[in-house]
Amino acid sequence: MAFNFGAPSGTSGTAAATAAPTGGFGGFGTTSTTAGSAFSFSAPANTGTTGLFSQNKGFGFGTGFGTTTGTSTGLGTGLGTGLGFGGFNTQQQQQPSTLGGLFSQPTQAPAQSNQLINTASALSAPTLLGDERDAILAKWNQLQAFWGAGKGYFNNNIPPVEFTQENPFCRFKAVGYSCMPNNKDEDGLVVLVFVKKEAEIRSQQQQLVESLHKVLGGNQTLTVNVEGIKTLPDDQTEVVIYVVERSPNGTSRRVPATTLYAHFEQVSIKTQLQQLGVTLSMTRTELSPAQIKQLLQNPPAGVDPIIWEQAKVDNPDSEKLIPVPMVGFRELLRRLKVQDQMTKQHQTRLDIISEDISELQKNQTTTMAKIAQYKRKLMDLSHRTLQVLIKQEIQRKSGYAIQADEEQLRVQLDTIQCELNAPTQFKGRLNELMSQIRMQNHFGAVKTEERYYIDADLLREIKQHLKQQQEGLSHLISIIKDDLEDIKLVEHGLNESIHIRGGVFS
């Protein structure tokens, strides 16, 4: 956000500082009918005195820091005759460049010398009363000079000195930095500041475009486009526009910013813009290196050259920022409002970004859950597919002898099974882990009933295996019982044979 050092047309006195609206570059390029100040960034002004930067051509970010192309006819050579901005091959009349005089000091050395002498007399040695009260008057004049307001009386025969905030003794001064525009004149960007709220401008944007088209004469070859809308302090809104001109052969181009601005600065056109609520119009064009150099070489009126040089040294980004003076509390308050407005815009943008990030995080969580679900489904389908393949392979190989590669695969599977069932290998480790888990569950601080769920197929297989084990044990027990009965029969037979033999030998 840049800063305003020009007053809108129709202002006078010190009230111009408060009435100046802030635009994209805060009013560089405005017009004024006030008396020229010690430093003035305003556009063409009907002033009685000449300030440091006052010229017949506009100075500032709004007017491009240079001469205005075209004459007082405004939009090229034929807006009134229906030729738009003069067509594509129409050469606009150029006025002689005033860059040298634009940034140079005014050639009123005698008047300035008398003004400096009168100021020094009012601050140091007034002779108004001729007694010790002149010393008190000198201190009062010094206080007024430091404050930048009032009149300094020092002689009965000479008019008093007018103390303004631009005088070199004013203490309420500082140097800030403004962004330099990087748009070219061919881009055709012109800033219009409306005394309306942004919501009202956006709701009536189409009507605004139609009204501006009527201001341009209603030419059908011209099209008004809105580049951007931005809120400003004090319920003001900045609207950036450009105009596209179409030629009969179908091609189009943007009307240069200086040409469009010159048309808007005509008295009749400016009256129509004021009826629409426009308080300020300016171009948004970049500065040439020569213009920047010339501006930096000459400090503004009332600013100490040492402070100006230090400001150039302290410039955080000399490629994008340019030092501008700040004089008085009004300017400081205006910059504070601009800063607050930009802070609110940044906070609003951060809130929008934060909401977008939160929405993206929710979408990411949902996506990750879906991915995990699809992974489980894929694994389940893989197992089912494997089972189908196994059954199909069993049916296909039914009745055939085991082949060599199958035998080799069986040996490998048996080896893996043996490794898994080895006490010191994976099975032993799993049993150890299960024991540790049971101990932790038994001695845990929170004793809750653990519930384990086993897959139905696995449970069925376990039951079948246990059933087979039980049947095997039952069969083994029956065999042992049969063997015991046979042993008893053998023992009984042996005992009977021994008794018979004993009777024979006796």
Res 471 pLDDT > 60: yes
Q: How far apart are CA 331 and CA 20, in angstroms?
A: 10
| Assigned token pair, 363 | 């979408």
Calculate the CA dihedral of residues 483, 485, 487, 492 and round it to 10 degrees.
-170
Res 148 pLDDT > 60: yes
Instruction: Characterize the bridge pairing of strands 236-246 and 278-283.
Output: unpaired
Res 383 pLDDT > 80: yes
Q: How far apart are CA 495 and CA 503, in angstroms?
A: 13
Go through 185-208 and write b for each residue having 16 or more CB atoms within 10 A of its CB, e for each that does not: bebbbbbbbbebebeebeeeeeeb
Q: How far apart are CA 463 and CA 318, in angstroms?
A: 84
Q: How far apart are CA 494 and CA 485, in angstroms?
A: 14
Res 300 pLDDT > 80: yes
Q: Residue 242 region, left (φ>0) first, then alpha (ψ -120 to 50), else beta?
A: beta
Q: How far apart are CA 291 and CA 64, in angstroms?
A: 10
Q: Closest by alpha carbon to 289, among 259, 318, 257?
A: 318
Q: What is the pLDDT of residue 109?
A: 53
Q: Closest by alpha carbon to 65, among 293, 279, 240, 314?
A: 293
Beta bridge partners of 321: 179
Q: Closest by alpha carbon to 261, among 280, 276, 245?
A: 280
pLDDT-derived band at 449, boundaries 50, 70, 90: low
Q: Are 58 and 93 in contact (CB under 8 A)?
A: no
33 by DSSP, 3-state: which? Answer: coil
Amino acid of residue 181: P
Q: How far apart are CA 107 and CA 104, in angstroms?
A: 9
Res 80 pLDDT > 50: no
Which DSSP string corresponds to 52-113? SS--SS--STTTTSSPPPS-TT-STTTTTTT-TTT-SSPPPPPPPP-HHHHHSPPS-HHHHH
Q: For 305-357, how does the pLDDT look when each residue is reduced to its tens digit (9 = 90+)?
A: 888 899 989 999 888 899 988 888 888 888 888 889 889 889 999 999 999 99
Q: Are 27 and 236 in contact (CB under 8 A)?
A: no
Neighbours of 427 (CB within 10 A): 13
Q: For 86-101, how does the pLDDT look when each residue is reduced to its tens digit (9 = 90+)?
A: 443 333 333 333 333 3
Average confidence score pLDDT of the chain: 76
Average pLDDT over residues 374-381: 95
